[in-house]
């Protein structure tokens, strides 16, 4: 299996050598940025505030750090609402 980008020893991302993968990487690299208007995190910005340049986790589990605007009880209710809305065996769009 291949990937769109590889990391060198300094953990910098280098473009793949395959021209098709280079185009894909360049096309999607902007929307991966957390501040891009089309980034999925912008959809939920009413629930949390991102802390710029701060991260939690390492490697594949590395994520942007944030402060929640919802209480623990409100988050639990959101989870219940989400799972109650799922229908087994059917895709939810």
How confident is the model over 11-50, as pLDDT tens digits?
556 767 888 888 888 888 777 777 788 887 788 888 888 8
Structure-token pair, residue 47: 């629930």
If you average pLDDT over residues 49-69, what whole number do you get?
88
Structure-token pair, residue 59: 């490697």
If you average pLDDT over residues 47-58, what whole number do you get?
88
What residue segments make up the domains of the chain, in order of their start?
1-32, 41-88
Give the pTM. 0.47
pLDDT of residue 71: 94
CA 65, 48, 76: angle at the middle one, nearest 5?
A: 105
pLDDT of residue 12: 57
Name 49's bridge partners.
Answer: 67
What share of the chain in percent tops pLDDT 70? 77
């Amino acid at each position: 299996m291949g990937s769109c980008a590889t990391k060198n020893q300094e953990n910098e991302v280098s473009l793949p050598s395959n021209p098709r993968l280079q185009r894909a990487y360049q096309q999607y690299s902007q929307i991966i940025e957390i501040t891009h208007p089309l980034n999925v995190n912008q959809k939920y910005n009413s629930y949390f505030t991102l802390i710029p340049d701060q991260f939690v986790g390492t490697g594949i589990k590395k994520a942007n750090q944030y402060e929640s605007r919802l209480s623990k009880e409100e988050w639990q209710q959101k989870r219940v609402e989400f799972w109650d809305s799922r229908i087994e065996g059917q895709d939810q769009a």
